[in-house]
Every structure is written in C-alpha cells, then in structure tokens.
Amino acid sequence: MKVQVGTVFLVGAGPGDPGLITVKGLRCLREAEVVIYDLLVNPLLLEEAPPEAERIFVGKSRGFHPTPQERINELLVEWARRGKKVIRLKGGDPYIFGRGGEEAQYLVRHGIPFEVVPGITAAFAAAAYAGIPITHRDFTTSVGLVTGHLEPEKKMALLDWEKLAGAVGTLAFYMGMANLSLIRDELIRHGRSPQTPVAVISWGTTPRQRTVVATLDDIVAAVEKAGLKPPAVILVGEVVSLREELRWFDNKPLHGKKVLVTRAPAQGRGLAELLEERGAETVLCPVIDILPPQDPAPMEAAIDSLAGFDYLLLTSANGVDSFCSFLRAGNRDARALAGLALVAVGPKTARSLEAYGLQADLVAADYRAEGVVELLRSRTMAGKRILYPRGDRARQLIPHELESLGATVISPVAYRTVPLEENREEIRDLLCRREIDAVTFTSASTVEDLAGLVGEDAAELLDGVAIASIGPLTSAAVRRLGLTVVAEAAQSTMEGLVNALENHYK
C-alpha cells in the first residue's frame, strides 16, 4: 500500500524569545511528527513538540556546517515521503536570509506539498528589544535588509554600496560581525556620514542580549572593546539615537544576571519564566526530582478510608498532585472528598487544588507548617481525624502539634524527594567557571541535595554567588553550609523569591 505523502511546514521560530513564535507556528509545532531545526532555535520551543516526535538538529554557524544544505533538503523530502508532518523550524523568518526559498523550490521539484508560516525576523525584533524603532517619521521611512555574511571579494558584485549608503534610511545587516569593518568602510566611502549612529545587537530578544551604540566611524573599536560576539544584527541609521529614550528590555532589574534554578523539573520551568520576565538568563539544573513513595500501601489505605476523616491537609503543589494521582489510581474522584474540610497552605496550594476542580475550605496565611497549626488551633481539634499526605522529608511539626490538641493525624508519605544525579557535572562546571551570578533555593532539600551533588567544596564554589531563599527553613539550611543568604522571600512563594532577588540587585 502506497504511503500518502506528508506536508512540510517551513516555520519561522522568531529571533530567540520563545514567546515570539506565531500562534500558527506553535500549533504546527504541537502537531509535528518530525522537527528539523536550526542552531538559533530556542530549545524551549522543542519542548512544545509531542514527546514522540523525531527531532533532527541541522544547525549551521560560521565555519561549522555539520549538515550541508543539500542534505537538509533531502531530509525534508525523505520524511515527507514517509507520510510525516514535517516542521522545518528556522530562526527568524524562513524567507529572510533563512534559505527557506531554496528549500521550498526543492520541495516543489520533488512534488512535496508545503506551507510557509512566517516568523518575526531578527532585525525587527532585536531593534524593538533594544529600544530602536526601525522606522520613525521624524527620521526615516525606508528600511534595507542586507546580508553581511559575504566573502570580501564578492562584496562589490552583490551589494550596491552607493545606493545602500545614500538611498536607504535604516540599514539592517544580518550576520555581519565578521565584516563589520568592511561595512563601515564601504558606507563611509560611498557617502554615509561617519557620525551616523550605529547599534550592534548581540543575541537579540534573549536574556543574553547586549547592545553597543557608537558612530559609524567608531563602531568597530566599540564592539571590540565590549567583546561582542555573533550572532548579532547591525543597525545603521538615525533611528538608533532613540535607544536611550526608548530602551526597555535591558533595563529590567535582573537583566544580565545568570540564575541557577535548582527546583524539581515539574516546577522549575515556572520559576524560570518568572525570572526571565524580570530579565534574567536562567539555567535549569534541578537538583531534586519528585517520585512516588517506595511503599504506596499507606497512601492507598488512606484513600480507601477517606470517609473516616474530618480534614484533608495539603501543604504543597507536590502534595496536591500526588494525592490526586492516588485518588485517580483508586478509581475515585472529587465525590470521595464529600464531608472533608480541605486545608491548604497558602494560595499556591489552593490554586493547585482548583486545577483538579477542588476548592479549599481553609487557607493558611503563613505558608509554612506553623501557619497550618495556627489556623487549626482556633478550631476544636479534639477527636478529629486528619489526613496529611506528605513528602518523605517533611518535618513532624504538624502531626506533633495537632495531636497535642487531641486530633488523630494520619500522615502517609505521598511522594519522595530524591537527588537528581544527572545534573551533577553541569552544575559543578558552571560553578567552577564562575558563570552563575545567583542561585535560587525553594526548599531545604534543594540546598542539601545541591551540596551533596557538588561535593565537599560546595561552600567554596558557591562563595560569591548571590543566594536567594524561599523562606526561613530554607535559609537555615543554607547557613548550615556556612553561606550567606542575600535574599529571602517575604512570602514563601515563587513570586516572593523573585521579588527578593530583584530587591537585592536594586
């Protein structure tokens, strides 16, 4: 039986910020069976593809072409002929210096159906993130997009420098860092004023973005002094003078800071997004993972006897997820909780319950075990039965205090926290090379497990790194290592943690 030919989608991934992909591009990616992607595609976008989708890296950089363009073209045809939905994920826009036109021609010649999903091109996005409008009626109404990735001997044959210098208001050179001095010389030689403002934007729209502004005459020396490296966009024109007035992205409070996120994988991305919203570059290296208990029998027994409890006490999102997982495994749903008062520690835990269609009856204002005890102390606890699904490292404060009030507390282990060994070498390497500005800790276990993973010299490697803690118990674990907490959350939430780190740098 002949396999029906699949379709190739040439999708623009945008310039770096994963939020700049189009809605249609994201939809295509989420339906992909094969993703063939470039070097500058943000890795977070690859996570949007289905887990079973084939992922094929074909990235190229200057002097490094592990997969020639001819082979990329062949891959598109090969996978489409297997009946697959193929996403050719390209940085920026496929048809602006992305060789998308060549790939589309190859597909047409081989009878492969294709669609193009435009993306935001690097020059437009990088300029906007640097505070530079590409056009402005007080300065210019014309724009030229030029490839700067040319061999010097070909420059005169491919570029009309006289027209570029005199007839276009704003010039955007892509991939031109290696030829920056040539670009400067040719523009000045053909009539552009040496005093024309120029901006070179490296890693545009990402937390690593850096911008150097100088005159056309001085830009080469300024870039060399700043140590700017590719990938970069070069903008030439009077609109560059608006940067100081309109800059917004690199004014963010954590811009330029590289922050290590140690939280478990399921929650680490959320914390990283909050940090990136404030301008930080994040490194996701979880030191712990959340796993089911080694012995599920106590939790299963608790689920079987839910009708015998008066209160269900949940102290974290992990506790909510684990409890609801056991509830489903026991072929039960929210109806099994009828008659129980649901108690949550803090609004985040309450919102986690809402995600399962459950409403907390009581929410502790203090986001710690002490807050729960204080909340329930005002109620009659004598004779009450409380189910408290907990982590394997949880303190015994809640059972001890509530039982002293006359309650019976059943506290089976619902999940366990284990060190994530696979990130050991990466974390050590980052700390040894002094690449990390700050590290966030969201529990005492993240502190203890980072120290265990890094080894005996943990205190030495973390010396000079800004340590941010989610609360007093976590801070105490940091101090036991002989280290100083520079930022402690006023409220034990991810938002509170990020606010504390931001206030430290302010």
Percent of the chain scoring above 70 in pLDDT: 97
Please list the residues that pair with 233 across neighbouring strands: 174, 201
pLDDT at 2: 61
pLDDT, averaged across the chain: 91
| Start-end of CATH 3.30.950.10 domains in the chain | 124-251
Instruction: Provide the H-helix boundaries in 113-194.
Output: 122-129, 155-158, 161-167, 180-189
For residue 185, indicate whether it is catalytic: no
pLDDT at 14: 94
For residue 38, indicate whether it is catalytic: yes
Torsion of CA 38, 39, 44, 48, to 10 degrees: 10
Do the beta carbons of residue 197 and residue 213 sit within 8 Å? yes
User: Region 39-51: what's the mean pLDDT?
Assistant: 91
Give pLDDT tens digits for 178-219: 899 999 999 999 999 999 999 999 999 998 999 999 999 999
CA distances from 169 to 176, 313, 330, 360, 494 (A): 18, 65, 68, 60, 46
Residue 1 — pLDDT band, cuts 50, 70, 90?
low
CATH architecture of structural domain 258-287+420-505: 3-Layer(aba) Sandwich (3.40)
CA distances from 456 to 260, 424, 459 (A): 19, 13, 8
Of 163, 162, 143, the C-alpha closest to 238 is: 143
pLDDT at 64: 55
**Does residue 267 register a pLDDT over 90?**
no
pLDDT at 368: 78
**Does residue 61 register a pLDDT over 70?**
no
Give pLDDT tens digits for 116-159: 999 999 999 999 999 999 999 999 989 999 988 766 556 545 78
Range with the poorest average pLDDT among 148-152, 432-436, 451-455: 148-152
User: Residue 254 CA to chain centroid, in angstroms?
Assistant: 14
User: Region 353-367: what's the mean pLDDT?
Assistant: 88
**Does residue 354 register a pLDDT over 80?**
yes
Residue 343 in 3-state DSSP?
strand
Give me 410's structure tokens. 């059943």
Radius of gyration of the chain (CA): 28
Domain spanning 124-251: which CATH class is it, in words? alpha beta
User: Region 355-369: what's the mean pLDDT?
Assistant: 86
Longest dimension (CA), the chain: 91
**Does residue 384 register a pLDDT over 90?**
yes
Percent of the chain scoring above 90 in pLDDT: 70
Q: How far apart are CA 428 and CA 448, in angstroms?
A: 15
**Does residue 63 register a pLDDT over 70?**
no
User: Which is more confidently placed, 66 or 439?
Assistant: 439
Please list the residues that pair with 282 across neighbouring strands: 259
Q: How far apart are CA 259 and CA 252, in angstroms?
A: 14
Residue 371 in 3-state DSSP?
helix
Active-site residue, selected from the candidate residues 38, 93, 321, 437: 38
Do the beta carbons of residue 247 and residue 128 sit within 8 Å? no
pLDDT at 441: 94
User: Region 280-289: what's the mean pLDDT?
Assistant: 88
User: Region 371-389: what's the mean pLDDT?
Assistant: 91
pLDDT at 406: 94
| Start-end of CATH 3.40.1010.10 domains in the chain | 8-120
User: Region 216-243: what's the mean pLDDT?
Assistant: 96
User: Residue 84 CA to chain centroid, in angstroms?
Assistant: 29
| Start-end of CATH 3.40.50.10090 domains in the chain | 258-287+420-505, 297-416
CATH architecture of structural domain 8-120: 3-Layer(aba) Sandwich (3.40)
Q: How far apart are CA 388 and CA 133, in angstroms?
A: 56
Strand locations in 227-294, DSSP E?
232-236, 258-261, 281-284, 288-291
Active-site residue, selected from the candidate residues 2, 17, 60, 93: 60
Range with the poorest average pLDDT among 223-232, 341-350, 408-417: 341-350
Of 270, 312, 317, the C-alpha closest to 440 is: 270
CATH architecture of structural domain 297-416: 3-Layer(aba) Sandwich (3.40)
Please list the residues that pair with 140 across neighbouring strands: 136
